[in-house]
Amino acid sequence: MHSKRFYTLSASCPDRVGIIARVSGFIAEHHGWILESSYHSDDAYGGSRYFMRLEVKADSLPFHLAEFRERFRPIAEELEMDWKISDSAVKKRVVIMVSKQEHCLYDLLARWQSKELDIEIPCIISNHDSFKGFVEWHGIPFHHVPVSSDKPDNRQAAYAEVHRLFEEVKGDTMVLARYMQIIPPEMCVSYPGRIINIHHSFLPSFVGAKPYHQAYQRGVKLIGATCHYVTSDLDQGPIIEQDVIRIDHSDSVDDMVRYGKDIEKAVLARGLRYHLEDRVLVHGNKTVVFK
């Protein structure tokens, strides 16, 4: 990460000759200074698609972000781009959701407090009130929104409240830090590519509840964790980051859970960072991650 302010342009478009020249030429034409650039071509979906990410030194350009968008839009339309541009000076607003397991929440708050994750956390939402005092000690508003799995009307009201809170605080990203409830499909549709989950399994293996118990019964030699975007298909969203650790026959389920917590924290932090830095581009159910 650069110490000076920069703009991050991330985009994908149908692959063709001259994409880099067209985009970098526009930046050079306005005396823009490119600090970092990444590119990738992928033909896995029956038609080649091109992915790019550029960081441009903000004060090298003669205009601000809003004017950049206006001037760049005709080029984006010409290239049929899906694109966005962000400002490093504007902190992303991350709403964390948690249930009863604390390790991912504690890790994210430690990284936030130390500025390793330079974000705003406008609130934390939980279906239990266990962490109310801990969260408020950090000066962060805590909202207890109970969810009854066996009462559809309650679930609907609960997620309407979650939606209201997220909109009220102008959240950019929602992080499920071991939030052990299924997000309703309508919320997934409302926030595509904006809800991030950490699943305590090396997906697509062992989806759903108690994956470590499933892994133990299967006799696996590797366990892991997966950070992915949430979609209406349970634990099937585009994968951002994964990691594994080797185990053996002497490890119990409790051992596996303990090892897994360390992996979960690291994988969630990395996946969230990649997302916040606009390093993740989604295409279909795959991602391109410029690390």
Between 128 and 256, where is the model more confident? 128
pLDDT in tens, 51-74: 999 999 999 999 999 999 999 999
Query: Which whole number is the average pLDDT over 103-110?
Result: 97
Note whether 205 and 231 are same-domain residues.
yes
Task: Give domain status of residue 214, yes or no.
Answer: yes
* Tokens 């962060």 found at: 140
Rg of the chain over all Cα atoms, to the nearest angstrom = 21
Task: Give domain status of residue 132, yes or no.
Answer: yes
Note whether 215 and 281 are same-domain residues.
yes
Handedness of CA 137, 158, 127, 111 (dihedral sign): negative
- Rounded to whole angstroms, the Cα distance separating 115 from 203 reads 30
pLDDT at 44: 66
Note whether 117 and 212 are same-domain residues.
yes
pLDDT at 220: 85
Task: Give domain status of residue 49, yes or no.
Answer: yes
Share of the chain above pLDDT 70, in %: 95
Count of CA atoms in the C-beta half-sphere (13 A) of 245: 18
Note whether 181 and 52 are same-domain residues.
no
pLDDT in tens, 197-246: 998 876 567 776 677 778 788 888 888 899 999 998 877 899 999 999 89
User: What are the backbone angles phi and psi of residue 126, rounded to the nearest 5°?
Assistant: -145, 150
pLDDT in tens, 140-198: 999 999 998 777 678 889 999 999 999 999 999 999 999 999 899 999 999 999 999 99
Query: Which whole number is the average pLDDT over 108-133?
Result: 96
Note whether 28 and 100 are same-domain residues.
no
- Rounded to whole angstroms, the Cα distance separating 45 from 29 reads 34
- Rounded to whole angstroms, the Cα distance separating 36 from 278 reads 13
CATH of the domain at 30: 3.30.70.260
pLDDT at 204: 63
pLDDT at 215: 79
* Tokens 């209406």 found at: 232
CATH of the domain at 163: 3.40.50.170
Between 123 and 216, where is the model more confident? 123
Task: Give domain status of residue 1, yes or no.
Answer: no
Does 45 score more than 60 pLDDT? no
Share of the chain above pLDDT 90, in %: 77
Kindly list the catalytic residues.
Answer: 235
Query: 36 in helix, strand or coil?
Result: strand
Q: Please give the tally of structural domains in the chain.
A: 2
* Tokens 């080029």 found at: 75
DSSP-derived secondary structure letter, 186: H
pLDDT at 235: 76
Query: Which whole number is the average pLDDT over 130-146?
Result: 96
Range of the domain at 81: 6-87
DSSP-derived secondary structure letter, 184: P
* Tokens 């809003």 found at: 66
Note whether 227 and 147 are same-domain residues.
yes
pLDDT at 2: 63
- Listed range (14-23, 87-96, 208-217) with the worst mean pLDDT: 208-217
> Is the link from the previous residue into 185 a cis peptide, with omega within 30 of 0?
no
Query: 175 in helix, strand or coil?
Result: strand
